[in-house]
């Protein structure tokens, strides 16, 4: 069963450049991860500092493998530190 992961972040203008570089590194790793199907990034219209990534995975197990990937964890920790808060995740069945 495919799953969709909704990933919400609040982005501040002063961090945008550094965050973009980290997200590009994370995206490059994602493309190599077994079970990854697709991803889409959205910016909230009424709150420009909020973005949502919708990430589609072949299975919960594939997503969990990605979540536990040490390279992903390292980059995600840098992202959360830069944003000053933890990234919010929600999983839905497709």
Residue 48, token pair as written in the block: 């420009």
pLDDT tens digits along 8-31: 999 887 888 899 899 999 999 999
pLDDT at 94 > cutoff 80:
no
pLDDT at 59 > cutoff 90:
yes
Range of the domain at 45: 3-93
Is pLDDT larger for residue 93 or for residue 14?
Answer: 93
Look at the chain and report how many structural domains it folds into: 1
pLDDT at residue 37, rounded to an integer? 98
| CATH assignment of the domain containing 69 | 3.30.70.100
pLDDT at residue 13, rounded to an integer? 79
Question: pTM, whole model, 2 decimals?
Answer: 0.90
pLDDT at 40 > cutoff 90:
yes
């Amino acid at each position: 069963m495919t799953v969709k992961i909704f990933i919400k972040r609040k982005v501040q203008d002063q961090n945008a450049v550094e965050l973009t570089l980290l997200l590009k590194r994370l995206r490059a790793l994602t493309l190599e991860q077994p079970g990854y199907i697709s991803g889409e990034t959205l910016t909230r219209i009424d709150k420009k500092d909020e973005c949502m990534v919708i990430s589609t995975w072949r299975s919960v197990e594939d997503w969990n493998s990605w979540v536990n990937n040490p390279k992903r964890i390292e980059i995600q920790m840098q992202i959360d530190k830069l944003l000053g808060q933890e990234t919010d995740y929600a999983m839905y069945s497709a």
